[in-house]
Structure formats: structure tokens, C-alpha cells
């Protein structure tokens, strides 16, 4: 049987961090008592009418521009009709065939569309078992109902669970840096559903997809998609066919259960919302949205890669704009040293030193100023101190700040530059480790470690390891 490839698309809901709801002036709620942020509009009393939140439109434009989307010159709202207690009007105001944002791209994944809609209310199921099946009743809290959402739909361009989780992280970071949402999966301000299918590798046709819901962390997203891909692969390889269904991820067990399909698939009976007029973003709105965009992760990553920083390190740096800013300052101060080396120090040695010292915050909050880190790295690069000594100095700087030169002087860490002195110590170490020398001569190269170790101990790490190796081999 031909190899099956995974085909994954994501459907993302971003809760916007506006002050008020999408269609009324109620404030957004954060863990408040139930039903303290409601009004006749979001409770859908008879006779009420929606009026769209201007800031939500602006935020949606920013998201669209950050994702490289075509912005529709004119888009309209539609009603999506369905009955459920969390849907007070029995329709959700959304966008259907003319959304505010059209095709775009983020990294390697194409965006199909993005549109505005309102969030449903929260339903707490109460009853004997506390689970949805077998519960007695629903208690509905309308605080969340009406919160502005942007729904982003990707093309099915992802080919694996890990890739999906990583791209979702990139999306999250991109939106977070716009400042338009908390995008917190655990809190629900970012929700990611996955559409998963498999097909023979090389095929252009799409297989039947299943929809995965309720994965409220990137880890769960990856696990859920992995589990579903495994299930589909097994099924198809055994000659079965995948049924289109919605699967609910259970974090406790890490498994997916089909959500019992309602009697029939929903017929949402979409029609244009007569109570709202079209959106036609003006030149000024677009300009303001564009100007509000910070340098986004994808652009920054590309810039760092151009400087020679490897992709994975660039991603780590770009993920936190403050660390990225710190790194760029270091690069400026360390004029001449390869950014690749500086990036490794920032994401590697410095990060480790901060963790070791249990210092809160990142590089930008630390006591290690960019000029002092740059100076330290220069010392190491110029072999004035060994790499190991560099780490010792860094550890000290993390705690006390200060200037590396002073610390090197104080601790006496200056690299042994007198090769005569070093040679003498090497000879002594070789004499004291004659059996190791024997082993090296017999072909066991690794035995050199014992001699190098002895030299390092004697020099208190101030010798340059590479130099020590060279002298030993010379003397063999």
C-alpha cells in the first residue's frame, strides 16, 4: 500500500481583547460572577439591535494584514441560525461568503480566510454526573456571550502533528505581538480545532476529514492530531474508510471520542444580516492598521536567518520581542562578532545561567547588559579566556552585573597565554598519566581526555582545551 500522508488544516478562534462586546457596550468579563455583564442586547430581548464594535473591526484588519490576507473592499454580516441555550438570539451573527479577510499566508501555511463573529455564552452542565450526558440541566452565563471573535481558517497545508503544533505556536505569537488578544489557550482566548485526513502520498485529492475539538494546549493539539492520524492510518490500511465526524479530545485520557452527531447535520440557513450594514474599510483604516503592525515574528526570523542565525535559534529569539531586542543590542555592541555566535550565547549560555541562578524574567530583564555580554563573548572569541571560564564569568554577571574584564581579573581567569608554562604542565600531566599516554599510542584516542582533564584542573580551566590537545599530540 502506498504511503499515506497526513493532511491537516486548522480552524482558529481568537477572542479579541477589546473593552466591550462585539455588538453591545457590555464590558468583557474575566472570571466574574455569572451574568453581571449583560444587557438587553446580548440577552436577545425582543426588539434589540446589534451595532458593531469599531475596535473589533480594527483588530480584525490588523490580524488580516499580519497574515498577509487580501482585505475585502466590502464585506457583510450573515446570520447563522441554530437553537441552543448559549445562543440567545438563536442565531449567531457571523460572516459567510463575503468575509472581511480573504486568502493570505503565515510561514509555510496558506490562510484561506478570516472573519468576524460573536462568541456564544457559557453553559455549565449540572446534574448527577456533572458530564454532558446524563446531566439534568444547563445553567447559562451570558457574560461571555457576544465577545468579539476572529475566526481564521487555514488551507490543509500541514503535514504532521508536530508541524501543526509548531505552526499554531507561530500563529499565536504573531497574534500576541499585535496586542489584539491574550491568545491564551488554557483560558479560552485562543481555540484551535484541527481538520485531519490522510491520503496516498502524491495524491492531489483530499480524503474524508474529521474535525478535532477541545484541545486546549499546544501539547494536546499535537497529541490529539497524532492520535487521530494513527487511527485513520490504521483504519485505511486495514481497508476501511474514514467517516466524517467531529471528535472531542479528552485531556485526561488523551483520547478522542466522537461527539454524538445531532439528529441531522445543522442547516444554518445563512442569510445576510438585515440589521447591519456592510463593512467597507477605508484607506485611513487600512493605513492605521498597517502602521499598528509591529515587526512580526516571521519577518524577524527571516532577518535573523539572513544574518546567519540558524532557523531554530532565530525562532526562539523571535518568539519574545524583548529577547529579540536584547539580542539586537548585543549584535550592535559586538560589532564584528558573528551574530550566529551571539545568538547562541543569548539563547544558550545566558538562558542557562539565568535558569541556574533562578532569576525571574529573560535576558532583557537580567543584570547582564548587552555591552557586557558582547565584551565577554569577544574575550572568549579572542581566546583571552576559555569558553568554560566565560561561563563562570557569565554566572557571576547574572548575579552581580558588572563588567567582565573586572571579574576575569578578580577571579584570575585570564587564559594561560604563556605556552612555555603550559607546555611544562602538559609534560607533567603526561608523566603522571603514563597509562593514558600508552592507550593513546595504541589507538584509543579517547584516552586523551584524562590528560586534558588533568591539565585543566592544574590550570583551573584557564588553558584553552584545543591548545592543550595540540601540545599533547605534539609530544606523543
Partner 1 sequence: MTDLLDLTALEAREAMAAGDLDAAEYTAAWRQAAAGDDLNAYLWQGDGEEAGAIAVEAGRTAPIAVKDIFCTEGVPTTAGSRILEGYRPPYTSTAVRRLLEAGAPVLGKTNMDEFAMGSSNENSAYGPVLNPWDRERVPGGSSGGSAAVVAGGLAPWSIGTDTGGSIRQPAAFCGIVGLKPTYGAISRYGMIAFASSLDQCGPLTRTVKDAALLLGILQGGDPCDSTSVGIEGGVSLPDREDLSGLRFGVPKELADYDFDAGVREVFEQTLRKIEELGGEIAEVSLPSSEHGISAYYVIAPAEASSNLARYDGVRYGMRRGGDGDLIEMYETTRSEGFGPEVKRRIMLGTYALSSGYYEAYYGQAQKVRTRIAQDFAGAFADVDFVVTPTAPSVAFKLGEKTDDPLAMYLNDFFTVPMSLAGIPAISIPAGLAAPEGGGPQLPVGFQIAAPAFAEQRLLDAAYALEQGIGFDARPGDADG
Partner 2 sequence: MIEREQVLHVAKLARLRLSDEEVERMVGELSGILDHVDRIGNLDLEGVEPTSHVVALENVLRADEPRPSLPRDVALASAPEPQDGAFRAPSPQAE
Instruction: List interacting residues with partner 1 (CB under 8 A).
Output: 40, 43-52, 79, 81, 83, 85, 88-91, 138, 140, 267, 269-271, 274-277
14 binds partner 2 (CB under 8 A): no
Reading the block at residue 405, the C-alpha cell is 574584564
* 4-15/148-154 β-pairing: antiparallel
Give the bridge partners for 14, in sequence order: 150, 190
91 binds, among partner 2, partner 1, none (CB under 5 to 8 A by kind): partner 1
Shortest spacing between CB 71 and partner 2, in angstroms: 14
- The helix (run of H) or strand (run of E) holding residue 411 is helix 404-411
Which one of partner 1, partner 2, none interacts with residue 19, CB within 5 to 8 A by kind? partner 2
Residue 161 sits in the site that holds partner 2 (CB under 8 A): no
**To the nearest whole angstrom, how small is the minimum distance from the Cβ of residue 140 to partner 2?**
4
What's the rounded Cα separation, in Å, for the pair 367 and 346?
13
Are 337 and 378 in contact by the 8 Å Cβ rule? The answer is yes
DSSP string, 328-392: HHHHHHTTTS-HHHHHHIIIIIIHHHHHHTT-SS-GGGSS--HHHHHHHHHHHHTTSS-HHHHHH
By beta-carbon proximity to partner 2, the closer residue of 148 and 156 is 148
Toward partner 1, which CB reaches closer, 80 or 172?
80
C-alpha cell at 229: 492520524
Residue among 101, 140, 161, 376 that touches partner 2 (CB under 8 A): 140
Query: What is the rounded CA–CA span in Å between residue 467 and residue 386?
Result: 11
* Contacted by 275, from partner 2, partner 1, none: CB < 5 to 8 Å by type: partner 1
User: 446 contacts which partner out of partner 2, partner 1, none, CB within 5 to 8 A by kind?
Assistant: none
- Residue 38 found at the interface with partner 2 (CB under 8 A): yes
Q: Which does 36 bind (CB under 5 to 8 A by kind): partner 2, partner 1, none?
A: partner 2
The residue to which cell 555580554 is assigned: 373
Number of neighbouring beta carbons within 10 Å of residue 292: 16
118 binds partner 2 (CB under 8 A): no
Q: How far is the CB of 82 from partner 1 (least distance, A)?
A: 9
287 near partner 2, rule: CB under 8 A? no
Kindly state the helix (H) or strand (E) to which residue 200 belongs, with its residue range: strand 190-200
Q: Which of partner 1, partner 2, none does 55 bind, CB closer than 5 to 8 A by kind?
A: partner 2
Give the integer Cα–Cα distance in Å for 47 and 53: 19
The answer to the question of residue 179 lying near partner 2 (CB under 8 A) is no
DSSP secondary structure letter of residue 101 = B
Window contacting partner 2 (CB under 8 A); options: 166-174, 237-245, 266-274, 452-460:
266-274
97 lies in the site for partner 2, by CB under 8 A: no
Phi, psi of 387 (to 5 degrees): -60, -45
Q: Which residues bind partner 2 (CB under 8 A)?
A: 18-20, 24-27, 33-40, 43, 51-57, 74, 76, 83, 85, 124-125, 127, 132-142, 260, 263, 267, 269, 272, 274, 276-282
Amino acid at each position: 500500500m502506498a504511503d499515506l500522508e497526513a493532511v491537516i488544516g486548522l480552524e482558529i478562534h481568537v477572542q479579541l481583547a477589546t473593552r466591550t462586546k462585539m455588538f453591545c457596550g457590555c464590558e468583557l468579563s474575566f472570571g466574574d460572577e455569572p451574568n453581571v455583564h449583560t444587557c438587553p442586547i446580548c440577552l436577545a430581548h425582543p426588539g434589540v439591535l446589534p451595532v458593531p464594535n469599531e475596535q473589533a473591526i480594527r483588530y480584525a484588519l490588523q490580524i488580516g494584514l499580519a497574515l498577509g490576507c487580501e482585505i475585502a473592499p466590502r464585506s457583510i454580516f450573515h446570520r447563522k441560525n441554530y437553537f441552543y441555550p448559549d445562543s440567545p438570539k438563536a442565531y449567531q451573527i457571523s460572516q459567510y461568503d463575503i468575509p472581511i479577510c480573504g486568502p493570505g499566508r503565515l510561514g509555510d501555511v496558506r490562510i484561506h480566510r478570516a472573519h468576524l463573529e460573536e462568541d456564544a455564552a457559557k453553559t455549565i452542565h449540572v446534574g448527577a454526573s456533572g458530564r454532558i450526558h446524563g446531566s439534568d440541566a444547563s445553567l447559562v452565563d451570558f457574560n461571555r456571550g457576544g465577545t468579539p471573535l476572529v475566526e481564521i481558517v487555514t488551507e490543509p497545508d500541514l503535514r504532521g502533528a508536530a508541524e501543526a503544533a509548531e505552526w499554531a505556536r507561530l500563529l499565536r505569537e504573531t497574534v500576541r505581538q499585535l496586542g489584539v488578544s491574550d491568545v491564551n489557550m488554557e483560558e479560552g482566548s485562543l481555540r484551535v480545532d484541527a481538520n485531519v485526513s490522510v491520503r496516498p502520498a502524491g495524491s492531489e485529492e483530499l480524503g474524508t476529514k474529521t474535525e478535532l475539538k477541545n484541545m486546549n494546549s499546544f501539547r494536546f493539539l499535537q497529541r490529539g492530531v497524532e492520535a487521530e492520524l494513527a487511527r485513520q492510518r490504521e483504519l485505511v490500511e486495514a481497508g476501511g474508510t474514514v467517516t466524517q465526524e467531529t471528535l472531542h479530545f479528552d485531556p485526561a485520557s488523551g483520547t478522542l471520542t466522537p461527539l454524538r452527531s445531532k439528529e441531522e447535520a445543522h442547516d444554518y440557513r445563512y442569510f445576510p444580516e438585515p440589521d447591519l450594514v456592510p463593512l467597507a474599510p477605508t484607506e485611513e483604516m487600512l493605513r492605521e492598521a498597517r502602521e499598528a503592525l509591529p515587526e512580526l515574528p516571521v519577518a524577524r526570523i527571516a532577518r535573523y536567518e539572513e544574518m546567519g542565525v540558524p532557523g531554530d535559534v532565530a525562532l526562539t529569539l523571535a518568539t519574545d520581542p524583548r529577547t529579540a531586542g536584547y539580542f539586537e543590542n548585543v549584535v550592535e555592541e559586538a560589532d564584528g562578532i558573528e551574530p550566529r555566535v551571539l545568538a547562541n550565547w543569548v539563547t544558550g549560555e545566558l538562558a542557562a545561567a539565568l535558569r541556574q541562578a533562578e532569576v525571574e524574567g529573560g535576558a532583557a530583564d537580567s543584570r547582564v547588559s548587552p555591552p557586557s555580554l558582547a565584551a565577554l563573548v569577544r574575550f572568549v572569541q579572542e581566546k583571552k579566556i576559555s569558553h568554560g571560564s566565560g561561563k563562570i564569568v557569565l554566572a557571576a554577571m547574572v548575579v552581580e552585573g558588572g563588567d567582565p574584564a573586572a571579574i576575569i581579573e578578580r577571579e584570575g581567569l585570564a587564559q594561560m597565554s604563556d605556552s612555555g608554562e603550559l607546555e611544562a604542565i602538559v609534560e607533567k600531566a603526561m608523566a603522571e598519566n603514563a597509562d593514558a599516554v600508552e592507550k593513546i599510542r595504541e589507538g584509543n584516542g579517547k584516552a586523551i581526555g584524562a590528560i586534558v582533564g588533568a591539565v585543566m584542573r592544574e590550570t583551573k580551566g584557564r588553558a584553552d582545551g584545543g591548545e592543550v590537545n595540540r601540545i599533547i599530540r605534539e609530544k606523543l
